[in-house]
Amino acid sequence: MFHKEGFKILLIALTLCLGLSLMANNYIDNSILKGGIIMSLTAMFLLIAQFFRNPKRPFIQKDSQVLSPVDGKVVVIEEVFEKEYFNEKRLQISVFMSPLNVHVTRYPVTGNVVLSKYHPGKFLVAWHPKSSEENERTTVVVRSKEFGDVLHRQIAGALAKRIVNYAKEGDAVNQTDDSGFIKFGSRVDVFLPLNTKVHVSLNQMVKGGITTLAEI
């Protein structure tokens, strides 16, 4: 299954790859060169296709837990001063996505969207310490009954040139529903109350909508 954000790109990529493969087949006599070109084009299309995959998963909503919004590797677990919305210390958990990860962003908690804001910015590598404040990003805050306000921030990276954000202020949203999509690698930060119990460790691989990041 593919995510809707990839339909147009996949159609263009498929058309180009098929067209170039037909040209190679018709106009190149060297069988080794012809085969190499066709195999390379096929591999390129498969790489693009896997980026936009959206696998079916057995999602279970867990109101007392915060689920990972994305697939990837945990790269930050620390107390920080969050100055855009809370203006106080929060527990930050950050997940880095490589181009090989599923790039759907999911709501980590159930509640109501009280903030959805886009920030233009730079395209520093996603693990750069200043990427959370200087890169192109979107900030979404969901007010939940169990955790209060939970902020998750999509951050563009060196390869991510487009962030898609579906959250609208006033929306009632469910945990694991699609919150957005980041094209071609990046990271997502989650900001939680300091008294939440962390369930993950640094460098741990997590799955969006499946892995528990923290609980009350």
- Positions annotated as catalytic residues are 186
How many degrees, rounded to 5, is the angle at CA 170 between CA 169 and CA 173? 95
| 76 closest CA partner among 215, 173, 176, 188 | 188
The candidate with the shortest Cα–Cα distance to 108, out of 146, 157, 81, is 146
Task: Give DSSP secondary structure letters for 181-207.
Answer: EEESSEEEEEEE-TTPEE---TT-EE-
Phi, psi of 117, deg, nearest 5: -135, 135
Token code pair at residue 135: 């890169």
| Rounded distance between C-alpha atoms, residue 78 and residue 181, angstroms | 25
For the record, the structure tokens of 126 come out as: 């996603």
Report the alpha-carbon angle 203-207-208, nearest 5: 120
Alpha carbon distance 48, 77 (integer Å): 31
Q: Kindly list the strands in the beta sheet with 197-198, ordered across the sheet, starting from the edge strand earlier in the chain.
A: 65-67, 212-215, 197-198
